[in-house]
A and B are shown apart, each in its own frame.
Chain A
Amino acid sequence: SQKIEQNSEALNIQEGKTATLTCNYTNYSPAYLQWYRQDPGRGPVFLLLIRENEKEKRKERLKVTFDTTLKQSLFHITASQPADSATYLCALDNYGQNFVFGPGTRLSVLP
């Protein structure tokens, strides 16, 4: 059956450290994978998109990797700040069909 998993429901890290979040999927062949940030009671906000033929994408303190062999994406936030505390969602874009979201990882950056 098709499944998307994110490594942990919650992740606590110290300010200044690098947060690494994992997204694993089975029985999908996504053309694109995206990461979103969601704050409580708000809609998902787009962060980064990575294509199946790209290994890595960066945007400021954010980095995403995409390994279609391992069926895994890693999302890194370097020099994390308390303002980065939120739930981070990975979403698969299955060749123009709807997005399929993972359950999210709630990140808390402690001062």
Chain B
Amino acid sequence: EPEVTQTPSHQVTQMGQEVILRCVPISNHLYFYWYRQILGQKVEFLVSFYNNEISEKSEIFDDQFSVERPDGSNFTLKIRSTKLEDSAMYFCASRARRSGETQYFGPGTRLLVL
């Protein structure tokens, strides 16, 4: 069964450093998402992406964040200058249509900012 994959599974970085989290969505999906989950808290939406542009973003997704689909398979989330409060699990998700079916989530990247 097709699945969303994410790399790396864990990332430790120093405050102020840039990180890039990578995702490979399910191949025939057109809509892509990033969510984060701070330890012990709920899953929060960051950004949605369709047709090579951001379709929606939350207040969390400020100028330090960017997303890209550099080729036909990868979908990346970049944090330019990490802060301590960026420590969280980051989940990528994809779905085939805009609405009416589920989003399929990847296993997540655990980011720890020291």
Contacts and interface: CB of A to CB of B under 8 A. Distances in A.
A101 B102 CA distance: 13
Nearest to B90: A43
Nearest to A46: B102
Contacts of A97: 48, 56
Place the interface of chain A in its size category: 20 to 34
Given A41-B89, A44-B43, A96 B107 contact: no
B89 A99 contact: no
A102 B99 contact: no
A98 B105 contact: no
Contacts of B100: 31-32, 51, 93
A59 interface: no
A98 B107 contact: no
Contacts, number: 59
Given A42-B108, A43-B91, A49-B102, A101 B56 contact: no
A37 to B, nearest CB: 11
Interface residues of B, number: 26
A98 B48 contact: yes
Contacts of A100: 45
A31 B101 contact: no
B43 A96 contact: no
Contacts of B66: none
A99 B103 contact: yes
16 contacts: A31-B99, A31-B100, A41-B89, A42-B107, A43-B4, A44-B91, A46-B103, A49-B102, A89-B43, A98-B33, A98-B45, A98-B48, A98-B56, A99-B33, A99-B103, A100-B45
**Pairs of residues from A and B, 7 with the lowest C-beta to C-beta distance, nearest first:** A96-B99, A43-B105, A98-B45, A96-B98, A101-B43, A46-B102, A103-B42
